[in-house]
Amino acid sequence: MTCYSLDGLTPVVDPTAYVHPSAVLIGDVIVGPHCYVGPLASLRGDFGRIVLEEGANLQDTCVMHGFPDSDTVVERNGHIGHGAVLHGCRIGTDALVGMNAVVMDNARIGARSFVSAAAFVKAGFECPEQSLVMGTPASVKRSLSDEEVAWKQTGTREYQRLAQRCLEQMQVCEPLSAPETDRPRISDSGLRPKGQ
């Protein structure tokens, strides 16, 4: 990872977290235990504080930033999809923010809620727990079922396992010029035998 201290504040990354080498962490950033930070993510703690709590994931090309004296927080087991932008907001415990969604300043996404892909959540927006939030501008569409929340939790556990896999196995390499004979496949949680 590319890591910069600023104004005497150095980013903090728990040793059980995985932060991709192409991610950028600046200043007041705290990445908690068992978190996953994907390729090209930007966590800019150059004004406010940026926090990923335990088990949260922040996927490829996501941006976390805020205004001075703000906190931008993804609470425990939060799940942030590819390309999302979080600015001075709080994402509740076990909530999901979909791909390319934008969540603005002082917005609060309730625990176990989903923000749909490409939604725009205006500054100051709040939603109750276990809500489906959609649209531009976003609004609460309905409550989520326990089955929908369980589906999200399964995906979050996969990212927690991915953090561990990456810590243990990911390494820089040169590409092959052609696929190997009987090339194995990667399942959701790692390699599986051919034909399964």
Note if the pTM is more than 0.85: yes
CA–CA gap between residue 43 and residue 92 (Å, rounded)? 18
CA distance 179 to 55: 34
List the domains of the chain with CATH numbers.
2-146 (2.160.10.10)
Find out whether 31 and 15 touch, Cβ atoms under 8 Å. Answer: no
Q: How many CB atoms lie within 10 A of CB 38?
A: 21
Residue appearing with tokens 């953090």: 163
What is the total residue count of the chain?
A: 196
What is the chain's pLDDT, residue by residue, as a tens digit (196 residues)? Answer: 899 999 999 999 999 999 999 999 999 999 999 999 999 999 999 999 999 999 999 999 999 999 999 999 999 999 999 999 999 999 999 999 999 999 999 999 999 999 999 999 999 999 999 999 999 999 999 999 999 999 999 999 999 999 999 999 999 999 999 999 998 888 755 444 444 4
